[in-house]
Amino acid sequence: MVMYKHSIPLVPQEEIAYELGLIVPKKDAYLFAKVRTGKQPSAGWGTQINKPEFAINKVFPELGIPISMQRLTTKDFRSPDELGKLLQDIQSKDGDALLCFDYGKLWSLDFRGGHVCVFNSVDGNEVTIVDPERNVPKLRTTTLDKLYLAMDFHGEHNSTGVWLLSLS
């Protein structure tokens, strides 16, 4: 979505995911042309951008994607109110951000694992995100309180937080 917004030539999402360390359970490997299987990482199944070899700022230039990322965690915004101010600032500048959090914690599910969505908007205490998860509405709304708790719960070691994107 960010590449499209900025008229950057698109790279297939499966290629991007693989280069970012995509790892899935063996039972799901058939869904991908090129994928890794193995032990589930602490952040859950998916990409492994917390490892240096799969870091976004390493991989994107290699793929010719002129986007860089700066990650802010709950150590940088220490409350739901500070998260709201950060998101409001991004929105007012027509900026781009991805949000990484624990999926089960945010949606009150019996599941633990990381998930990343595109930040869409903030209005008061409500945050709207674009969710790539299958079988859910693409536009979803939550509260700053729940989002902050889900980010904090997921943990800095699992790349949680707000991923600020900029053209490089």
Provide the domain count of the chain.
1
Question: What's the CATH number where 48 sits?
Answer: 3.90.70.30
Residue 126: its pLDDT value, please? 98
| Average pLDDT of the residues in 125-147 | 96
Q: pLDDT tens digit string along 39-87?
A: 999 888 999 998 999 999 999 999 999 999 999 999 999 999 999 999 9
What's the pTM value of the predicted model, to 2 decimals? 0.92
DSSP letter at 89? Answer: H
Q: Which domain holds residue 52?
A: 2-167
CB 167 within 8 A of CB 6: yes
